[in-house]
Amino acid sequence: MTLQLGETAPDFTVASTEGNIQFHEWLGDDWAVLFSHPADYTPVCTTELGAFAKRKDEFASRGVKLIGVSVDPLDSHKDWAKDIEKTQGKGLNFPLLADKDQVVADLYGMIHPKADPKVTVRTVFIIDSAKKIRLMLTYPPSTGRNLDEILRVIDSLQLTDNHKVATPVDWKNGEDVIIVPSLSNEEAKERFPDGWDEQTPYLRVTRQPGRK
């Protein structure tokens, strides 16, 4: 199945380390980061799960829930969790789906046969409170994810959902933003009374809304 940005994230019911998860019900009115792992007891995944656990509060402060998935069974997950806590200094504090029947993997296109027909690739989905897919990232099995980038994208999405702005290259929360081209100068004056730097008629840089 090929998913695209803006589509409704497929629903599913799958066992997890925190009991059965019916995804849409579990998500409620929050956002989610859904991320897959090639297999249990793999070194890169071990570091990632520990890192997500350590930074769970940063995601929660943005109204974002974490949920991992692997095609290994639940018993394997629970044993692996002990290694994660031992080596990374933080235990699992979010659900890890036991997708042994590849329900989630198939719905979200996480099996890439030319990469490896037996395991999920390292994918990330950011899903908003309307259950729409807002970002998809696919990494090779050998490359760990960058959590700072995932948080940066969430900050950008949540900011631009509420204001007529876009975020430029390498933007970080608190930095200047771009007024969207569809907004006329007259409309922009109402929204951005402090003005902007008009580098070209379509590139108008302004202070991030809400920044002190």
> Alpha-carbon distance 10 to 69, whole Å?
14
Q: Which amino acid is at 147?
A: L
Of 21, 33, 34, 45, the active-site residue reads 45
Distance (Å, whole) CA 127 – CA 134:
6
User: What are the tens digits of pLDDT across the range 54-92?
Assistant: 999 999 999 999 999 988 888 889 889 999 999 999 999
Q: State the Cα–Cα distance between residues 44 and 35, nearest whole angstrom.
A: 13
The 10s digit of each residue's pLDDT in 134-178 is: 999 988 878 899 999 999 999 999 999 999 999 999 999 999 999
Bridge partners (DSSP) listed for residue 70: 98
pLDDT at 115: 57
Q: Tally the C-alpha atoms within 13 A of residue 113's C-alpha that lie toward its C-beta.
A: 1
What pTM value is reported for the model? 0.92
Is 45 tagged catalytic? yes
